[in-house]
């Protein structure tokens, strides 16, 4: 390891996983290309790059809202100018593990709102389900979800433990957010370190909006379905993401007041009159989705949208009621779900978790 002023005072913490150094205090091979750059870069230059990144985030509006912070509500999303490098082999395992996990979670949601075999077979206690605030009785029995897909988009949080393995921290399945920050992070990295990403064969993420649009479009039998993104509005913490995804997918960004339900069909108000909506990528939580069935004081959703959904006249992504699968009390049972529904061992482990009141 070369001794320059960037690394000479670096201290590796005991009993922790260091992304850049191995146990022998040597650089991990996946960082070779980036290390060569850092060895020829002064700390002052790196500081300037960090300042530039902050300026770019702020000038482009890449922020999130913190409502209970006395210092101000607009915050720049945390960004480390030194990238975390995940090898292809590591990503292959992560990808397979997430696919396995989501397949089991989707089967769980379908089961819970229909036959409930997993309760009858004693895998999960029924009282845990029925006491969960995210269990929607409005979705139970007879609600036909298109293609039986409840979870179209997910945000699975991972953490690397001191053994070097990735563990699942939590599953976000209701209105997961954060992907726009990932896209912007990649663009900022390209500007800060031009040429380094291509030289290291880093996989592209820029096709995410096109891939998302394609998946949404596949949910309809129409050749050109009308797809909209339903946002709570400008005061939502993830509003930047809502505007970014709608723009990149080329779909309309709407609020609840822009939509209306007539004869169990959802329409968007336009200057040319009402236009039927086929697919709604919603970023509004269940409680505020339909004031006729949930929170009657909500002005964020659309009155009657659940009735239109039950009749199959509109598709809502993600399906209402998916929150039952990302509840913190349910999290501990996900490995059991994988074994129960798929007859497989989990590829990704949960972090060690204890359920209060249980001896398991």
Residue 340 has pLDDT above 60, yes or no: yes
pLDDT for res 42: 83
- CB environment 278-301: b (16+ within 10 A), e (fewer): bbbbbbbbbbbbbbebbeeebebb
Question: What average pLDDT score do residues 313-334 get?
Answer: 95
Question: What average pLDDT score do residues 20-32 get?
Answer: 85
Q: Are 290 and 302 within 8 A, CB to CB?
A: yes
User: Which CATH number covers residue 237?
Assistant: 3.40.50.11290
Residue 279, in any domain of the structure: yes
pLDDT for res 261: 98
**Which residue carries 């199959």 as its tokens?**
312
Residue 147, in any domain of the structure: no
Question: What average pLDDT score do residues 166-185 get?
Answer: 92
Question: What average pLDDT score do residues 15-33 get?
Answer: 86
Spatial separation of the C-alpha atoms in residues 135 and 113, rounded to whole Å? 9
Residue 336 has pLDDT above 70, yes or no: yes
Residue 246, in any domain of the structure: yes
pLDDT for res 5: 58
Spatial separation of the C-alpha atoms in residues 355 and 360, rounded to whole Å? 8
Residue 300, in any domain of the structure: yes
Question: What average pLDDT score do residues 153-179 get?
Answer: 94
Residue 139 has pLDDT above 50, yes or no: yes
Residue 278, in any domain of the structure: yes
Residue 74 has pLDDT above 80, yes or no: no
Q: Identify the band that residue 356 occupies on the pLDDT scale cut at 50, 70 and 90.
A: confident
Residue 261, in any domain of the structure: yes
pLDDT for res 7: 72
Residue 13 has pLDDT above 90, yes or no: no
Domain range holding 263?
207-317
Residue 287, in any domain of the structure: yes
pLDDT for res 358: 61
Write out pLDDT tens, residues 268-304.
999 999 999 999 999 999 999 999 999 999 999 999 9
Spatial separation of the C-alpha atoms in residues 261 and 307, rounded to whole Å? 9
Spatial separation of the C-alpha atoms in residues 89 and 29, rounded to whole Å? 13
Helix (H, G, I), strand (E, B) or coil at 316: strand
Q: What is the mean pLDDT of the chain?
A: 90
Residue 304, in any domain of the structure: yes
Phi, psi of 136, deg, nearest 5: -100, 110
- Our count of domains for the chain comes to 1
Q: Identify the band that residue 1 occupies on the pLDDT scale cut at 50, 70 and 90.
A: very low
């Amino acid at each position: 390891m070369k001794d320059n002023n960037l690394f000479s005072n670096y201290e590796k913490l005991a009993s922790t996983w260091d992304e850049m150094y191995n146990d022998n205090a040597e650089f991990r091979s996946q960082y070779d290309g980036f290390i060569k750059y850092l060895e020829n870069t002064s700390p002052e230059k790196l500081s300037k790059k960090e300042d530039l990144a902050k300026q770019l985030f702020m000038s482009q509006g890449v922020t999130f809202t913190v409502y209970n912070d006395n210092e101000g509500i607009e915050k720049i999303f945390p960004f480390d100018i030194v990238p975390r490098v995940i090898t292809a082999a590591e990503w292959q395992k992560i990808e397979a593990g997430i696919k396995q996990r989501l397949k089991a979670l989707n089967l769980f949601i379908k089961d819970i709102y229909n036959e409930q075999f997993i309760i009858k077979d004693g895998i999960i206690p029924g009282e845990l389900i029925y006491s969960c605030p995210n269990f929607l009785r409005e979705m139970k029995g007879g609600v036909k979800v298109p293609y039986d897909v409840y979870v179209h988009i997910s945000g699975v949080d991972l953490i690397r433990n001191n053994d070097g393995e990735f563990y699942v921290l939590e599953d976000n399945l209701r209105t997961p957010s954060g992907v726009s920050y990932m896209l912007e992070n990649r663009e900022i990295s390209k500007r800060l370190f031009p040429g380094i990403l291509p030289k290291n064969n880093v996989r592209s993420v820029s096709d995410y909006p096109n891939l998302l649009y394609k998946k949404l479009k596949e949910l309809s039998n129409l050749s050109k379905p009308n797809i909209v993104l339903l946002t709570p509005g400008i005061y939502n913490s993830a509003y930047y993401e809502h505007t970014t995804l709608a723009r990149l997918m080329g779909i309309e960004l709407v609020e609840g007041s822009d939509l209306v339900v007539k004869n169990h069909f959802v329409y968007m108000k336009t200057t040319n009159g009402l236009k039927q909506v086929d697919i709604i990528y919603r970023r509004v939580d269940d409680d505020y989705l339909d004031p006729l069935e949930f929170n009657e004081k909500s002005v964020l959703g659309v009155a009657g949208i659940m009735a239109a959904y039950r009749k199959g006249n509109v598709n809502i992504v993600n399906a209402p009621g998916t929150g039952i699968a990302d509840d913190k009390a349910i999290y501990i049972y996900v490995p059991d779900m994988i074994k129960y529904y798929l007859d497989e061992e989990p590829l990704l482990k949960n972090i060690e978790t204890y359920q209060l009141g249980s001896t398991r």
